Structure 1
């Protein structure tokens, strides 16, 4: 089994945090988004992964540090890492085709801007499985239309009339991803464009027209990381899940001077807490100092200094300094407010 991860986008909705760090590498509950996503997919598949192919953007932004991080992720999961580049943003279908040498055999394609919690058996008799989540407002999403055998017959984008309540979340299984490659090559060769780009859906629709059987795999939780507020909400939900599963969230190297930690929280290595309250639902990165402050429902990244602050629904980047009385803030790497 292979996992293909297109992640070349710049994550503009998450700025300023995605100005210096690619969005898929921004930590949620102490671990980068893409690391959590891939590990959760491996858990659902419950089988050996031979290769993880990452499709990155411009090397000036997705540089060697990013590449080494992704290679280490693949190695930790017992897989080979392949790195590809999408230098021209031409859509989801085009991004997949940038990994053309890896498009053979069984594979999962997963876009790295979402997190999941799922526990289901993948139907490997189907030609493809599209992962979905039941939603209350399907008109806001792309949804699947099912026949009486629960086979997907149609993909409908933001339907004005009810089609189904199963929204497509951007994770797909293909029994032979080479079949998708063939259809996407046709899409590119014939310049089939929707929304100004080459879309994965156009390749999928051609597979359906050729009689391929598509089924659904429904996830229990689907968590977005698109902008600051929803990323903090995802951090809150993920910390809750991790606490339930008794995953270690507190480093043993925390220095605690007259401070209170309210679970669930993630607190990284060599964090110093002085006269502060941290939590609930706070994620604190390695090497950060929090002094005379209250921090809850927030994400603070690495090597940052927080003083005299009351933070709630805040997101602060790496190597930043914040000293003040603001609460709902969002500042990026190497910023200073004091």
Structure 2
């Protein structure tokens, strides 16, 4: 099994946090979004992962030079070969997959790296394909699928009238990666675009018309990392899941001086807490110092200094310094409010 991860978007909705770190490499509860994504996929696969192919954007569009090294390390940790491709121009979801054409063969998962999920099902690898879906309250904001006898019959983009409440979350299984590549190649060779881009939905429809049967892969939780507030909420949900699984996310070397931690929380290595109350639902990256602060429901990255603060629903980037009484903030890397 191969996993193809298109992640070339610049993550403009999550700025300033994506000015120096690509959105999929944003750390949530101690792990990057993309690492959690491939781990979630691995948990529902029966077959071993042969290769993980990442499609990133160019350095000129905000992807640091060390991005490739970080991604290869994620693949290695899962015992898979890592490959990194660059999408030089944003030409759509199908085009992003096409950039990894050298890795498109055999059974594969395609997963767009701007979402996380929690699932408890086993993927049927004998099916032609599968599309991960989640039941939602307002399907008009999403692409949805219609089902008949457990088979997907239609793909409907942002329906104005109710047709289904099963939203497509952006994770797909294809039994035949070669056929997937063939269909994308057809789009590109014939310049078949929608709104100036090559879309994966056109590929799915073409495969379906040729007889391919897609089944739904239903997930229990679908977590968005597109903007600041949903990302902070995703951090909260992951901490709750980790606590339920019995994980201890507090580093053994954390320094507690007249401070307490209210679980669930993630506290990285070499963190110093002085005269502070942390939690619940807080992640603090390694090397950070928190003094005279009360922090709940917040996501704080590495090497941050916070003092005299009361924070709720906050997201603070790496190397930031914050001293104040604001309660809902979004602070990017190397920012100082003192």
> How big is each residue's C-alpha offset from its partner over 1:277-317, in whole Å with a ceiling of 9 and x where there is no partner?
00000000000000000111001100010000000000000
Alignment match, 2:315: 315
Q: Is the 8 A contact 2:129 2:213 kept in 1?
A: yes
Q: Give the distance between the partners of 1:214 and 1:240, measured in 2 at CA.
A: 32
- Structure 1 portions without partners, runs of 5+: none
Map of 2:155 onto structure 1: 155
1:323-338 alignment, distance < 5 Å:
323-338=323-338
Aligned to 1:127: 128
Runs of 4+ aligned residues of structure 1 deviating over 3 Å after TM superposition are none
| Per-residue Cα deviation, 1:164-204 (whole angstroms, up to 9, x for no partner) | 11100000001111111111111111111113211111111
> Are 2:257 and 1:257 aligned?
yes
> When the two structures are superposed, what TM-score results if normalisation uses the length of structure 2?
0.98
**Map of 2:14 onto structure 1:** 14
Provide the residue aligned with 1:139 in structure 2: 140
Equivalent-residue separation in structure 1 for 2:64 and 2:53 (angstroms): 16
The SS at the match of 1:240 is: helix
Secondary structure of the structure 2 residue equivalent to 1:17: coil
Report deviation, 1:63: 3.2
Between the aligned partners of 1:283 and 1:16, the Cα distance in structure 2 is 18
Contact 2:46/2:123 (CA < 8 Å) preserved in 1? no
Distance in 1 (CA, whole Å) between partners of 2:198 and 2:36 is: 28
Alignment of 1:53-92 (within 5 A): 53-60=53-60, 61-92=62-93
SS of the aligned residue for 1:35 comes to helix
**CA–CA distance in structure 1, aligned partners of residues 190 and 110 of structure 2:** 23
Partner deviation per Cα, 1:197-236 (whole Å, 9 max, x = no partner): 1111111111011011111110011000010000001111
| Structure 2: 5+ residue stretches without partners | none
Q: 2 CA distance for matches of 1:135 and 1:177?
A: 29
Secondary structure, counterpart of 2:59 in structure 1: coil
Cα distance in structure 1, aligned partners of 2:335 and 2:124:
48
Provide the C-alpha distance between the structure 2 equivalents of 1:299 and 1:214, rounded to a whole number of angstroms.
37
1:239-258 equivalence runs, <5 A: 239-258=239-258
- C-alpha distance in 2, partners of 1:292/1:121? 47
**Pair 1:26-2:48 in alignment:** no
TM-score normalised by structure 1 residue count: 0.98
8 Å CA contact retained: 2:29, 2:235: yes
Indicate the residue corresponding to 2:201 in structure 1: 201
Give the secondary structure class of the aligned counterpart of 1:253: coil
Superposed displacement of residue 65, structure 1: 1.7
Q: What residue number does 2:267 align with?
A: 267
Name 2:101's counterpart in structure 1.
Answer: 100
Classify the secondary structure of the residue corresponding to 1:273: strand
Contact 2:111 2:170 in 1 (8 A): yes
Deviation track 1:254-282 (CA, whole Å, cap 9, x = no partner) reads 01101010000000000000000000000
| Residue 125 (structure 1) shift | 2.1
Shift of 1:98: 0.3
TM-fit CA distance, 1:8 = 0.4
Distance 1:301 1:259 in 2: 20
Match of 1:188 in 2: 188
Name the residue aligned to 1:236.
236
1:295 aligned residue:
295
Q: Deviations over 1:93-148 (max 9, x none)?
A: 1000000000100000000001110011112221100010011111111000122x
Q: CA RMSD in A?
A: 0.9
